[in-house]
Amino acid sequence: MENDRNGPFQPARRGFLKAGGAAAVAATALGKAAAAQALPVVANDDPYRAVEPFFGPHQGGIVTPQQSHTYVVALDLTTDKRDDVIGLLRAWTDAASRLTRGEPAASIDGPDDRPAGDSGEALGLGAARLTITFGFGPGLFALEGKDRYGLANRRPAALVDLPRFNGDQLVPEKTGGDLFIQACANDAQVAFHAVRQLARIGSGIAHIRWGQAGFLSGPRDETPRNLMGFKDGTNNPSIKDTQVMDEFVWAGSEGPGWMQGGTYTVVRRIRITLEHWDQMERGFQESVFGRQKKSGAPLGKAKEFDALDLEAADKDGNPVIPDNSHVRLSNRATNNGAQILRRSYSYNDGTNFYIERWPPWRQETEYDAGLIFIAHQRDPRTGFIPINERLAKFDMMNQFTTHIGSAIFACPPGARPGSFIGAALFES
Amino acid sequence: MENDRNGPFQPARRGFLKAGGAAAVAATALGKAAAAQALPVVANDDPYRAVEPFFGPHQGGIVTPQQSHTYVVALDLTTDKRDDVIGLLRAWTDAASRLTRGEPAASIDGPDDRPAGDSGEALGLGAARLTITFGFGPGLFALEGKDRYGLANRRPAALVDLPRFNGDQLVPEKTGGDLFIQACANDAQVAFHAVRQLARIGSGIAHIRWGQAGFLSGPRDETPRNLMGFKDGTNNPSIKDTQVMDEFVWAGSEGPGWMQGGTYTVVRRIRITLEHWDQMERGFQESVFGRQKKSGAPLGKAKEFDALDLEAADKDGNPVIPDNSHVRLSNRATNNGAQILRRSYSYNDGTNFYIERWPPWRQETEYDAGLIFIAHQRDPRTGFIPINERLAKFDMMNQFTTHIGSAIFACPPGARPGSFIGAALFES
């Protein structure tokens, strides 16, 4: 079956519409008894019950159709023992395989005199298409020159330290990390629950450096809109196009064997000054993006997926899509054909309070909201880095955005049952 | 029907499965044409499309079955003109009535030379059962003794300043506020979008003091669980019981006429040290709550809704439900029959970073997560205040919780079409 749910690029929802839908309708028409028999099919297509595979050639959460919520976390390793790291990855793999099936990470029913197991807040919630993606930061290979785990010579060349970009205002406690966990699910509590269990399992070996919840509203039958009100992701490469994924997302034979089938992930916490943005004229906003707000169409075109015409000029000879618009600067044609797979989420952490440092020294409250930018690629040196260098210098959007956090991780390929995530890295 | 969608513990989705579900099944069996005809019914039961009424004797968002997301915000008035306040409430009422119907607050299609209208990020998302609830803080009536709007003598006696409770660690910038907006919806972006539009409308008259996003996962066919993993709300009074609502939630003739049919709302931002909690034994956690974790049953009972037996003792004569357990201290019987209507949400704002102030001065990262406690009542002097005074002193849960923010508001009754929220307050 072309669209079966084990296919790496098939959204569960699409599978339902194309394949499961017919079965569900048939089952319903047959009445209650038949419907009960057909329950596994129906359950699989409920976005709160559906299960994404954990084991496989690639990790989940990369080319998986994007779920509505995420919790991402970076941890610092506090152990100096290689075996602790291996043990942690084994335990995480085991727990993640259970969590992604919608099961508790551990029993909550142990005897009363033992510490609590699974914290319980996801009981009854279902798997909600939970995926758990693990990544390795530079500090796993060597920290401040110290080779803690005998891995220094195994660091992939593509796992570069990101350069400082123009305008970066990175906060150390929102930046970096030795290990990365991205939990995505169709329920905020399911995603956070997964990270909480994994963090507790790591207690004494790794501690959380930073964590962040994200959401993505309404990806029902349209490209979802970001908090700036624009459709976001229209030009993303198709996760269904295995050839493009192989060329631009999955690490290949150019790097170490243990990373083949993995990907390099860049995470940026980008605060957006929504109050400021909300005061701008719509026409100006559209110039910043290079797209129309309502339809998402490129300026000068009618429909969202119409091709960009970067050559088009108005009657005065000015480009229809401004030189410093986001869509032009980030476009493939402007970037030597480079593509990255964006899989970002909005975040909304309430408000920040600050006192202005110059007269009239008034107090201000601002939304602490923006974008958890997440991008996967075969090699950041030809992907995120050159694209973002151009954006950081020229993008008109920079007036409204501040990069607060940053991290890069090597996300290894998926694990086979019985093995664990990253096993090949530790084979001598 | 006991479990209809107006029930207090009944999520919209449960209503869909139990009530709308039958219609949907029937429609499906009838085939495509019939299903198309049945669309309005299906749409009403779609939690992302359903509409809650804005106008009416009471404001929405109080006895409305709880939606899955909220964004709450408090604003400080910066004007000294009474007419500005009236104009703002008129504009807010108008915008809120449109937003709750799933419409933009204002056109986004104005000419390019005008500031952008609606910020657009909710386009296509539907009403998602959006409710918008407005409240008035003490500062509307008088701020630091100054009667800015000629309302000082109209402040209701029930709108007291909350006392300092034992253990309070209130942060001024998360506390108080002259005006309150609570937006609840089945979509995080819809709720936040509503507040953003209203905040922008208030530009120059009121500015945001604090804002907070919240969520409530999985209230599908069970009482939802809080981040401590326990079912939360089992003993809440039933929103279907109009007699109880009249007695304990809605302000009556004992206070000013303009508040009759309104309610007094207490908001507390309660941080929970989840890392600490997650290390506790399950048996201890259950003693703290006075309930079983998995089933939610009171200790010594089998089912969630079994009545508490506060007299029960074990074979050694110790109370089965510990003296300082949360369920005992917050119980109606312990509080002279007082009841409040809780309508709280979890929050999850990533992580806080701090450096310990004593040796070994290590850096620590902790979850910035917990509960936005929201409680409605006829009179806080017999509701929240005495209940929380007891809890603040004795509740075992206090080891794991810190009250960071606090506010109290008088939420007036609902508005009639053509009028505005709080109109009667401004009638001389």
DSSP letter string, A297-350 = PBTT-SSTTSPP-TT-B-TTS-BSS-TT-HHHHTSGGGGTT---EE--EEEEEE
> Distance between CA B219 and CA B380 in Å, rounded?
28
Does B251 score more than 90 pLDDT? yes
Q: Report yes or no: B426 at the A interface, CB cutoff 8 Å.
A: no
Residue A350 contacts B where some CB pair is shorter than 8 Å: yes
Distance of residue B254 Cα from the nearest chain A Cα, in angstroms = 36
Say what the pLDDT of residue A110 is.
53
What pLDDT band is residue B38 in, cutting at 50, 70 and 90?
Answer: very low
Beta carbons of B372 and B267 less than 8 angstroms apart? yes
Give residue A357's pLDDT.
64
- What are the distances in angstroms from CA A81 to CA A11, A142, A199, A207, B401? 40, 13, 18, 15, 35
Of A351-365, A404-418, B270-284, B314-328, the range with the lowest mean pLDDT is A351-365
Over chain B, what is the mean pLDDT?
87
Please state the rounded mean pLDDT for residues A52-69: 97
Average pLDDT (A48-64) is 96
Provide the domain limits for residue B110: 47-426
Q: Which pLDDT band, with edges at 50, 70 and 90, does B33 fall under? A: very low
Which of B348, B354, B400 would best serve as a mutation to test chain A binding (most A beta carbons within 10 A)? Answer: B348
Three-state DSSP state, A60: coil
Is residue B29 scored above 50 in pLDDT?
A: no
Provide CB contacts within 8 A for B28, sequence distance 6+: A25, A28, A29, B35
How many Cα atoms are found within 13 Å in the side-chain-facing hemisphere of A334?
Answer: 22
Contact list, A212 vs chain B (CB under 8 Å): 350-351
- Which segment of A155-159, A305-309, A320-324, B8-12 scores lowest on mean pLDDT? B8-12
Q: Does residue B405 fall inside a structural domain?
A: yes
Residue B412 domain flag: yes
Residue in B93, B63, B88 with CA at minimum distance from that of residue B77: B88
Compute the distance between CA of residue A364 and CA of residue A273 in angstroms, rounded to an integer. Answer: 13
Listed range (A78-92, A276-290, B328-342) with the worst mean pLDDT: B328-342
pLDDT: which is higher, B308 or B108: B308
Which helix (H) or strand (E) is A388 found in, with range?
helix A384-394
The reply to whether A1 falls in a domain is: yes
Q: Which of B21-25, B75-79, B227-231, B315-319 has the least mean pLDDT?
A: B21-25
Contact, A403 vs A169, CB < 8 A? yes
| pLDDT, position B360 | 60
Read off the pLDDT of each residue in B386-415 and give the average, rounded to a whole number: 97
The closest of A331, A101, A77, A371 to A215, measured between CA atoms, is A371
State the pLDDT confidence band at B145, using cuts at 50, 70 and 90: confident
Identify which has the larger pLDDT, A8 or A293. A293
Q: Is B101 flagged in the annotation as binding?
A: no
Report helix, strand or coil for A37. Answer: helix
- Which of the two residues, B230 and B40, has the higher pLDDT score? B230
Distance from CA of B390 to the nearest CA of A (A): 27
- Nearest-CA residue of chain B relative to A125? B218
Residues B383-405 have a mean pLDDT of: 96
Taking Cα atoms as reference points, which of A11, A8, A9, A29 lies closest to residue A19?
Answer: A11
Q: What is the mean pLDDT of residues B110-124?
A: 73
Q: Quick one: average pLDDT of B319-345? A: 92
Domain presence at residue B69: yes
Looking at residue B42, its pLDDT comes to: 38
Number of domains observed in the structure of chain B? 1
As beta bridge partners, residue B73 has B181, B211
CA distance B223 to chain A (A): 10
* Chain B nearest C-alpha distance from A396 (Å): 17
**B21 touching A (Cβ < 8 Å):** no
CB-based contact A105:A99 (threshold 8 Å):
yes
| pLDDT range class, residue A47, cuts 50, 70, 90 | confident
Specify if A226 maps to a domain. Answer: no
pLDDT of residue A5: 29
Could you tell me if B116 lies within 8 Å of chain A, comparing CB atoms?
yes
- Chain A environment of B229 (Cβ under 8 Å): 108, 119-121, 123
Which residues of B are less than 8 Å from A121 in CB distance?
217, 225-229
pLDDT of residue A115: 59
Residue length of chain A: 428
Closest CA to B205 of B74, B76, B91, B79: B79
Instruction: Give the pLDDT confidence of A232-250 residue by residue, as tens digits.
Output: 989 899 999 999 999 999 9
Q: Is residue A222 part of a domain?
A: no
User: Which tokens in the block code for residue B232?
Assistant: 């939360």
Instruction: Look at residue A180 and tell me whether its pLDDT is greater than 70.
Output: yes
Segment A130-175, tens digit of pLDDT: 999 999 999 999 988 899 999 999 999 999 999 999 999 999 999 9
Give the span between the Cα atoms of A154 and A427, in whole angstroms. 11
pLDDT band per the 50, 70, 90 thresholds, residue B55: very high
Can you give chain B as a three-state secondary structure string? Answer: CCCCCCCCCCCHHHHHHHHHHHHHHHHHHCCHHHHHHCHHHHHHHCCCCCCCCCCCCCCCCCCCCCCCEEEEEEEEECCCCHHHHHHHHHHHHHHHHHHHCCCCCCCCCCCCCCECCCCCCCCCCCCCCCEEEEEECHHHHCECCECCCCCHHHCCCCCCCCCCCCCCCCCHHHCCCCEEEEEEECCHHHHHHHHHHHHHHCCCCEEEEEEEEEECCCCCCCCCECCCCCECCCCCCCCCCHHHHHHHCCCCCCCCHHHCCCEEEEEEEEEECHHHHCCCEHHHHHHHHCECCCCCCECCCCCCCCCCCCCCECCCCCECCCCCCHHHHCCHHHHCCCCCEECCEEEEEEEEEEECCCCCCCEEEEEEEEEEEEEEECCCCCCHHHHHHHHHHHCHHHHCEEEEEEEEEEECCCCCCCCCCCHHHHCC
pLDDT at residue B361, rounded to an integer: 62
Residue B365: its chain A contacts at CB < 8 A?
A: 173, 207-211
Residue with the bigger pLDDT between B332 and A293: it is A293
pLDDT > 70: percent of chain B? 84
- Cross-chain Cβ contact B123/A225 below 8 Å: yes
- Vertex B343, ends B234 and B3: CA angle to 5°? 50
Any domain includes B26: no
**3-state secondary structure at position A424:** helix
Question: How far is the CA of A342 from the CAs of A105, A373, B425, in angstroms?
Answer: 29, 7, 51
CA distance, residue A253 to nearest chain B CA (Å): 37
Among A17, A45, A278, most B C-beta atoms within 10 A, so best to mutate, is A278
Number of CB pairs, chain A paired with chain B, less than 8 A apart: 218
* pLDDT of residue A4 exceeding 70: no
How far is the C-alpha of A165 from the C-alpha of B198, rounded, in Å? 35
Q: How far apart are the first and last CA of chain A?
A: 40
Q: What is the model's pLDDT at position B334?
A: 80
Contact between chains at B282 and A228 (C-beta distance less than 8 A): no
Higher pLDDT, A406 or A49: A406
Beta strands B363-377 and B341-342: pairing type?
antiparallel
> What's residue A360's pLDDT?
60
Q: Is the pLDDT of residue B113 over 80?
A: no
Give the per-residue pLDDT at A31: 38
The confidence score (pLDDT) of residue B144 equals: 86
Query: Residue B335: what pLDDT?
Result: 81
CB B210 within 8 A of CB B267: no
Share of chain B above pLDDT 90, in %: 76
State the angle between helix axes of A188-201 and A82-100 in degrees (0 to 180), rounded to the nearest 10. 150
Burial class of residue B163 (count of CB atoms within 10 Å of its CB; 0-12, 13-18, 19+): exposed
Contact B192 A348 (CB under 8 A): yes
B120 touches chain A (CB under 8 A): yes
- What ipTM was estimated for this complex? 0.88
In a domain, B14, yes or no: no
Check whether B243 has a pLDDT greater than 90. yes
- Which residues, numbered 272 to 331 in chain A, qualify as contacts with chain B under a Cβ-Cβ cut-off of 8 Å? 274-275, 277-285, 293-294
Q: Closest by alpha carbon to A50, among A242, A220, A186, A210?
A: A186
- Rounded to an integer, the average pLDDT of A212-232 is 88
CB contact under 8 A, A108 and B29: no
- What pLDDT is recorded for position B357? 64
Q: List, for residues B342-374, the tens digit of each pLDDT value.
A: 999 999 999 998 766 666 666 688 999 999 999
